[in-house]
Structure formats: structure tokens, C-alpha cells
Amino acid sequence: MRHRCKLVALRSGLKAQVHAVLAKQGVHVPLSDLFGVGGTKLLDELALDAPFQARVLSLRRLIDAFTFEIDTLAGRTCGQLARDPGFQAVQTIPGVGPVLGAVFLAEIGDVTRFCRPEKLCSWAGMTPRHRESDTKVHRGRITKQGNHLVRWAAVEAVQRLHGGAIGRTRARLTERRGANIAKVAAARKLLTLVYYALRDGHVRCLARPA
């Protein structure tokens, strides 16, 4: 999964280069996804200057090669984890699919080494800094000292949510304290559910009727 994440980052850099070439040529991109079906059609029909056209074609071939490797890795990993009860359980959490579920399972490993969910959140670097003196207690931003892939996966999962308990928590905190604090708080809540999913093989609160 770490290898896949590195490949995705490299592919993102290649896509950014395509956008940069189009910007140099003064091409306006009206699509949100330049590499989807509509974007691919747009790129096929563009008439760029010869050097820029060659560069875009080269970048697109590299992007296709990276996409093949990324999809192959994801398919193989998810196939190997298909029978794991923890892998199935984490995917019952809203916002968590096979790829993010595999990241949680691979990076966290044996979740019982954490005695409670708060320890897992701290290990992922998602707890606020805490400074305390005789008369004052100050809580700052999250430490970000921990497993960055688990932290990324938790944040990525909550950004897909617009409903449910976690989604409502994020919306409520966004109004009160801003988008960034709300996103982190929701991700911490989601990571708590991940803890119980990996420990118990299910999440009891998700099985309860609304």
C-alpha cells in the first residue's frame, strides 16, 4: 500500500505537468477532471505546438502506465485481504472503501497493541498538542507526529461524507470552528470506529437502527 501511495503521488505530478503545458499554450480547461472521459476527448482534439504536443503525449503515456500499476497493486492487495474480518469491517464505516480499508489494515497491524481508541489517534498524530503550567492549559494544533498514511486515510474518508453521524459532526463544527478543525475532529471520530472494527470485527454503533 505504501508503494501504491508513492505511485499515486508520482502520477499526480505528471498530471500537474499536463495542466502546466496547457496553461503555457493558453488552453482553458472547462472540466473538473481533465483525465476522465470528457477530458481525454478534449486532449485528443487539441492542436498544440509540436514540442508541447509531444510532451503532452509522453506525459499521457506515463500516466497510463502508472495507472495500470496502481490498479494492479490495488486489485492484488484487496484480493489478499478479502477474507480478513477486519478488512470487511472497516468498509462498513461510511467513506471507507477497499483502498482506504487496506491502508488502515496494513499500517495499523495488530490493533490490540493500543489499549483504547485515543492511543490509536495519538499514534496517528491526530491529537492536539498539550501544554500545561500551574495555572494555564493550552491545546494547539494536532501533533502530526505519527503514521502519516493512517492520518491521510482518515481525513480522505471524512472528506467524502455529507451525511451520517460523522458528516453531521463535521458540518456542525465547520459552522462553529472552521473547516480544518471540523475535518480533523471528524477524522478522529472515524479513526475511533476503525479501532473497534479491527478489534471486534464489527462496529456496533453502525448496526444500531437510526
104 and 68: one domain?
A: no
Over residues 4-38, the pLDDT tens digits come to 999 999 999 999 999 999 999 998 888 888 898 88
Asked whether 7 and 62 are in contact (CB, 8 A), the reply is no
Cα–chain center distance at 76: 19
Longest CA pairwise span in the chain (Å): 69
Q: What is the pLDDT of residues 146-179, one digit of tens each?
A: 788 999 999 899 887 777 788 888 888 888 888 8
Residue with cell 499521457: 60
| Statement to judge: residues 93 and 195 lie in one domain | yes
Find, among 184, 12, 166, the residue nearest to 96 by Cα: 166
139 pLDDT more than 70: no
Verify that 71 and 131 share a domain, yes or no: no
DSSP assignment of 124-140 equals: TT-SEEEEE-SS-EEEE
| Residue ranges making up the domain that contains 26 | 2-81
Amino acid at 116: R
Together in a domain, 40 and 68:
yes
Count of residues in the chain: 210
Identify whether the C-beta of residue 154 lies closer than 8 Å to the C-beta of residue 187.
yes
In terms of domains, do 183 and 94 share one? yes
Q: Which of 47, 81, 115 is a domain's end point?
A: 81
Full-model pTM: 0.79
Per-residue pLDDT tens for 170-207? 888 888 888 888 888 888 999 999 999 999 988 887 76
Q: What percent of the chain has pLDDT over 70?
A: 90
- Residue 146 and residue 188: Cα distance in Å, rounded? 14
Same domain, 102 and 146: yes
Together in a domain, 49 and 93? no
